[in-house]
C-alpha cells in the first residue's frame, strides 16, 4: 500500500526555495523491536492499549479483539521475527497489518487491516489464504457479512492464475462501541507490475451496478493518470450491495498542492474550503507535495456519482517528529469535536519511544466531509515498523 522509505528519516525541516520541497535530515524511525512476540500477541496488546486510552475498553472491545484474532488464526501465532517471512505490501517494511482509528461525530472506531499469510512465504500462498478467509467469514459465529458482490468481482483480480499477475487480497475489521464489527475486502495492485488498470475497476463497477457513478472518472481517467492521479487499490464493504460501498483509492505523484483535490471534487459533500485548511495545516508553505498522499472515492448503489471523498495525507518526511505530527492531529481532532487529550494519551501507550525522538508512527491522516453542518471524519493510521 505504501512506498518504501529509508529507516532513518526526519529531524529538521527546511524549505528548499529552488524546488519548493521539504528537505529533512535524519531522525530515528519509530521502530518496534519484539521478534519473539507473536503477531497476535502484539496485536492484542496494542488493541487493548488503544481502547483503554480512548475510553472504549470493555466486553465489546474484547469481543471485537477476539474476533480479529480468529481471523488471523493460524498464521498469527507465528513469531514476528527479525525480518518478514513474507513481505506484505500493507506496510513499508513488510509487516502484515496496521491499526487505525477513525472519529465519526467525535466517536472513535478502531480498525485493523491485514494480509493473511499462507503456509509458504510466497505471494500465491498469501493470496490463497486470503481467498479462504473471505469464504470462511460467512461461517464464523456472530460475523454478519454478505459476500455476493465480493465473490462476483474476485475473478477480475485473479488474472489467469499466473503468479505475479494477481492482485493481493487484504481484509479489515472495524469496530465502534455499541456496534458489531464490520468487514471490508481490499484488492491491492498487481504483485508483479503494481499497475492497476482502470478497465479492471470499470468491469467491477459494472458488475456491482455502479457503472453510471464511475463513468465520469472513467471518461477522464487518461487525463487524470497523466496528471499523476493513479488507481492504487479497490475495496468493498462486505455488506449487502444496496448498503455497502465500493471504494477506489488513488495515489498522487508529486504535484502542486492545489491539484491534490482534483479527485475529491468528484464526490458529493466535498468541501474545498475545509479540505484546503487541512492541506495548509499539514503542508504549511510547501508548494509541491512529493510524498504521495492518496484519495479514496466511495460509491453506493442508486447514486449517480461518488458519495464520499477521503483525503489521506502522509505525515512522514513532512513533520520533524511524531510529537509534531501529534500536535497537528490533536488540533484537527479538537476542531472536529473529538477528544484530542485522549488521543495524545493513547500515543504514549503505543509508542516505543518518546514521540520527540521518532517519526513514522503516525503515517497517515485522513479527512472526509459529509455535510456542511457536521464535523468531518478524521482518521489516523499507525505504522508499526518492526524490521530495521
pLDDT at 228: 96
pLDDT, one tens digit for every residue, the chain (388 residues)? 544 333 332 333 223 323 344 434 345 665 788 999 999 999 999 999 999 999 999 879 999 999 999 999 999 999 999 999 999 989 989 999 999 999 999 999 999 999 999 999 988 899 999 999 999 999 988 888 999 999 999 999 886 555 555 689 999 999 999 999 999 999 987 766 656 889 999 999 999 999 999 999 999 999 999 999 999 999 999 987 778 899 999 999 999 999 999 999 999 989 999 999 999 999 998 999 999 999 999 999 999 999 999 999 999 789 999 999 999 999 999 999 999 999 999 999 999 999 999 899 999 999 999 988 899 999 999 999 998 7
0.85 exceeded by the pTM?
yes
3-class SS string, the chain: CCCCCCCEECCCCEEECCCCEEECCCEEECECCCCCCEHHHHHHHHHHHHHHHHCCCCHHHHHHHHHHHHHCCCHHHCECCCCCCCCCCCCCCCCCEEEEEEEECCEEEEEEEECCCCCCCCHHHHHHHHHHHHHHHCCCCCCCCCCHHHHHHHHHHCCCCCCCCCCCEEEEEEECCCCCCEEEEEECCCCCCCCCCHHHHHHHHHHCCCHHHHHHHHHHHHHHHHCCEEEEEEEEECCCCCCCCEEEEEEECCEEHHHCCCCHHHCCCCCHHHHHHHHHHHHCCCCEECCCCEEEEEECCCCCCCCEEEEEEECCCCCCCHHHHHHHHHHHHHHCCCCHHHHHHHHHHHCCCCHHHCECCEEEEEEECCCCCCCCEEEEEECCECCC
pLDDT at 21: 41
Q: Which residues contact 173 (CB under 8 A, 6 or more apart)?
A: 64, 67, 68, 71, 111, 112, 181, 182, 183
Cα–Cα distance for residue pair 32/53, rounded to 1 Å = 19
Provide the β-strand partners of residue 29. Answer: 359
pLDDT at 382: 96
pLDDT at 346: 97
pLDDT at 29: 65
C-alpha cell at 384: 508499526
pLDDT at 317: 81
pLDDT at 251: 95
Best CA proximity match to 338, nearest among 330, 350, 326, 346: 330
Q: How many residues does the chain have?
A: 388
For helices 123-137 and 148-157, the axis angle rounded to 10 degrees is 170
Cα–Cα distance for residue pair 76/183, rounded to 1 Å = 18
C-alpha cell at 9: 528519516
Which phi and psi angles does 69 have, rounded to 5°?
A: -60, -40
Provide the β-strand partners of residue 310. Answer: 296
pLDDT at 191: 66
pLDDT at 195: 67
Strand 377-382 relative to strand 97-104, pairing: antiparallel
Cα–Cα distance for residue pair 267/112, rounded to 1 Å = 26
Amino acid at each position: 500500500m505504501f512506498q518504501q522509505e529509508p529507516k532513518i528519516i526526519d529531524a529538521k525541516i527546511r524549505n528548499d526555495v529552488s524546488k519548493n520541497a521539504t528537505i529533512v535530515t535524519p531522525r530515528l524511525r519509530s521502530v518496534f523491536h519484539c521478534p519473539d512476540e507473536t503477531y497476535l500477541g502484539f496485536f492484542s496488546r496494542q488493541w487493548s492499549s488503544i481502547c483503554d486510552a480512548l475510553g472504549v475498553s470493555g466486553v465489546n472491545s474484547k469481543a471485537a479483539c477476539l474476533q480479529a484474532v480468529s481471523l488471523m488464526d493460524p498464521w498469527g501465532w507465528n513469531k514476528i521475527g527479525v525480518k518478514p517471512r513474507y513481505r506484505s505490501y500493507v506496510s513499508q517494511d513488510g509487516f502484515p497489518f496496521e491499526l487505525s482509528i477513525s472519529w465519526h461525530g467525535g466517536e472513535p472506531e478502531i480498525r485493523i487491516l491485514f494480509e493473511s499469510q499462507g503456509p509458504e512465504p510466497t505471494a500465491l500462498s498469501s493470496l490463497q489464504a486470503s481467498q479462504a478467509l473471505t469464504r470462511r467469514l460467512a461461517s464464523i459465529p456472530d460475523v454478519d457479512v454478505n459476500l455476493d458482490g465480493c465473490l462476483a468481482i474476485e475473478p477480475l483480480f485473479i488474472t489467469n492464475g499466473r503468479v505475479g499477475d494477481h492482485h493481493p487480497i487484504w481484509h479489515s475489521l472495524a469496530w465502534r462501541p455499541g456496534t458489531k464489527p464490520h468487514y471490508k475486502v481490499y484488492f491491492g495492485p498487481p504483485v508483479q507490475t503494481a499497475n492497476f488498470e482502470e478497465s479492471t475497476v470499470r468491469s467491477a463497477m459494472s458488475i456491482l451496478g455502479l457503472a453510471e457513478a464511475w463513468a465520469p472518472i472513467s471518461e477522464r481517467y487518461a487525463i487524470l493518470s497523466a496528471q499523476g492521479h493513479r488507481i492504487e487499490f479497490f475495496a468493498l464493504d462486505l455488506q449487502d450491495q444496496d448498503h455497502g460501498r465500493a471504494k477506489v483509492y488513488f495515489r498522487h505523484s508529486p504535484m502542486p498542492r492545489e491539484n491534490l483535490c482534483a479527485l475529491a471534487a468528484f464526490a458529493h459533500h466535498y468541501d474545498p474550503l475545509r479540505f484546503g485548511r487541512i492541506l495548509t495545516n499539514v503542508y504549511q508553505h510547501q508548494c509541491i507535495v512529493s510524498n504521495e498522499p492518496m484519495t479514496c472515492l466511495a460509491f453506493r448503489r442508486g447514486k449517480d456519482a461518488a458519495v464520499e471523498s477521503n483525503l489521506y495525507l502522509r505525515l512522514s518526511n513532512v513533520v520533524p517528529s511524531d510529537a509534531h505530527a501529534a500536535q497537528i492531529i490533536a488540533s484537527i481532532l479538537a476542531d472536529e469535536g473529538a477528544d484530542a487529550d485522549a488521543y495524545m494519551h493513547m500515543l504514549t501507550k503505543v509508542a516505543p519511544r518518546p514521540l520527540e525522538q521518532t517519526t513514522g508512527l503516525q503515517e497517515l491522516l485522513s479527512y472526509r466531509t459529509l455535510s456542511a453542518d457536521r464535523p468531518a471524519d478524521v482518521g489516523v493510521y499507525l505504522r508499526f515498523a518492526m524490521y530495521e
